[in-house]
């Protein structure tokens, strides 16, 4: 068993309104960052997962996302295990 | 007299008013702490408003795994009446007892003000004493009140008359189809974003009485009313 650093990125589903992202975008525009568009805002979780392999850590993290960390109705997620992204 | 269990989660803050509203309607209402596993022969379960677990992660996401929720789910699956108000509605969605989810209000502001809803369906445990089409003034108090559901499920909710209350005059939070409250396919689980317990004369003196019949409806409904719990699917009749 070894500890894998798992990072989970949860984003509001692309088709849904993201008022927080919009507010940040407006604030950036107001500050002169007119080159910014389509700001979206989500959550970033960092966990240590004990597992026998990287694949097992990934499977466990996905199970955590499906069960708790993301809401399948409103959010999408991706998982990074020790630096490798898995959608 | 109906036995009404008001579930208390860490962070619930409308539990006392909800209990008082149910008692004022004649029910035998009592609190059930979220760590309990027994609903003590409840006829009706109410998940009250508030901010369970500080709304951490998502509103209702952590509360839905409380010990008591297994009993609430079993009660719902057996056809028992369940009402989720505000945070309670969010918890029911997270638990999968109601479809969809509640996201941040479209215009970001936390809203604490009166709202107007039209009663769309009266064959639910919470609306049987209302008239269809009645417009009620009931306060809202939420940051995550925008009801979101995929287009197919939204169409299904409309086609099967499961939108129980709809915002009128304005849509305060950007909810899909102006939805303020819905019911499940069995019509025994109901969620509402506004706070009917805050519009009962017995609880708050002024401001009207538009919410009181939610609690009177639950008290009036016959305990063994299974008519609405049997749904015709194709040529079969299913208990749902």
**pTM score of the predicted model:** 0.90
Interatomic CA distance for residues B209 and B196, integer angstroms: 9
pLDDT of residue B6: 98
Chain A: residue whose CA lies nearest to B65: A68
Chain B: residue whose CA lies nearest to A19: B106
ipTM of the complex: 0.85
Chain B: residue whose CA lies nearest to A23: B108
Interatomic CA distance for residues B62 and B29, integer angstroms: 25
Strand partners, B166: B118, B179
| Domain around B177 | 3-239
Region B123-132 average pLDDT: 96
Angstrom CA distances, A60 to A6, A46, A73, A80, B152, stand at: 10, 14, 20, 12, 31
pLDDT in tens, A29-81: 999 999 999 999 999 999 999 999 999 999 999 999 999 999 999 999 999 99
pLDDT of residue B116: 97
As given in the structure block, the two tokens for residue B208 are: 């009207």
pLDDT of residue B228: 42
Strand partners, B100: none
Give the gap in angstroms from C-alpha B104 to the nearest C-alpha of chain A.
Answer: 7
pLDDT of residue B230: 41
DSSP three-state, residue B132: coil
Interface test with A, best of B63, B104, B157 (most A CBs within 10 A): B104
- Whether residue B231 is predicted with pLDDT greater than 60 in this model: the reply is no
State the catalytic residues of B: 86, 195, 197
Q: Spell out which chain A residues touch chain B, with contact meaning CB-CB distance below 8 angstroms.
A: 12, 16-17, 19-20, 23, 43, 68-69, 71, 73-74
Mean of all residue pLDDT scores within chain B: 91
Give the gap in angstroms from C-alpha B36 to the nearest C-alpha of chain A.
Answer: 21
Tokens 């396919």 found at: B185
Range in A12-26, B22-36, B148-162, B209-223 with the lowest mean pLDDT: B209-223
- Domain with residue B178: its CATH number is 3.40.50.880
Residue A71 has its nearest CB partner, among B101, B104, B106, at: B101
Banded model confidence at residue B226, pLDDT cuts 50, 70, 90: very low
Note whether B101 contacts A74, CB cutoff 8 Å.
yes
- Whether residue B239 is predicted with pLDDT greater than 70 in this model: the reply is no
Range in A4-18, B51-65, B194-208 with the lowest mean pLDDT: B194-208
Number of domains in chain B: 1
Q: Which domains does chain A have, with CATH numbers?
A: 2-13+40-86 (3.30.1280.10)
Bridging pattern class, strands B189-192 and B179-183: antiparallel
In B, which residues are within 8 Å of A68 by CB distance?
Answer: 57, 61-62, 65
Chain pair A-B, CB pairs under 8 angstroms: 36
In B, which residues are within 8 Å of A71 by CB distance?
Answer: 58, 61, 94, 101
- Whether residue B225 is predicted with pLDDT greater than 60 in this model: the reply is no
pLDDT of residue A83: 72
């Amino acid at each position: 068993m070894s500890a894998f650093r798992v990072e989970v990125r949860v984003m509001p589903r692309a088709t849904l309104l993201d008022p927080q992202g919009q507010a940040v975008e407006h604030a950036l525009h107001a500050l002169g960052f007119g080159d910014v568009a389509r700001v979206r805002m989500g959550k970033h979780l960092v966990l240590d997962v004990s597992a026998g392999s990287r694949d097992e850590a990934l499977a466990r993290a996905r199970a955590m996302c499906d069960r708790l960390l993301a809401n399948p109705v409103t959010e999408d997620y991706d998982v990074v295990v020790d630096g490798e992204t898995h959608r | 007299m109906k036995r009404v269990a008001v579930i208390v989660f860490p962070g619930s803050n409308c539990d006392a008013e909800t209990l008082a509203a149910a008692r004022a309607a004649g029910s035998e209402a009592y609190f059930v702490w979220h760590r309990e596993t027994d609903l003590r022969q409840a006829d009706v379960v109410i998940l009250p408003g508030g901010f369970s677990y500080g709304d951490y992660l998502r509103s209702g996401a952590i509360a839905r795994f409380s010990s008591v929720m297994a009993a609430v789910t079993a009660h719902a699956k057996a056809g028992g009446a369940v009402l989720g108000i505000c945070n309670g509605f969010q918890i029911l969605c997270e638990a999968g007892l109601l479809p969809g989810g509640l996201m941040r209000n479209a215009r970001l502001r936390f809203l604490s003000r009166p709202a107007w809803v039209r009663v769309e369906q009266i064959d639910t445990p919470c609306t049987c004493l209302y008239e269809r089409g009645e417009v009620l003034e009931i306060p809202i108090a939420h940051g995550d009140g925008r009801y979101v559901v995929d287009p197919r499920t939204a169409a299904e909710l409309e086609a099967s008359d499961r939108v129980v209350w709809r915002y009128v005059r304005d849509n305060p939070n950007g909810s899909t189809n102006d939805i303020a409250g819905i019911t499940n396919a069995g019509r025994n689980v109901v969620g509402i974003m506004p706070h009917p317990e805050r519009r009962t004369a017995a609880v708050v003196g002024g401001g009207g009485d538009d919410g009181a019949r939610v609690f009177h409806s639950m008290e009036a409904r016959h305990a063994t009313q299974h008519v609405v719990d049997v749904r015709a699917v194709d040529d079969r009749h299913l208990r749902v």
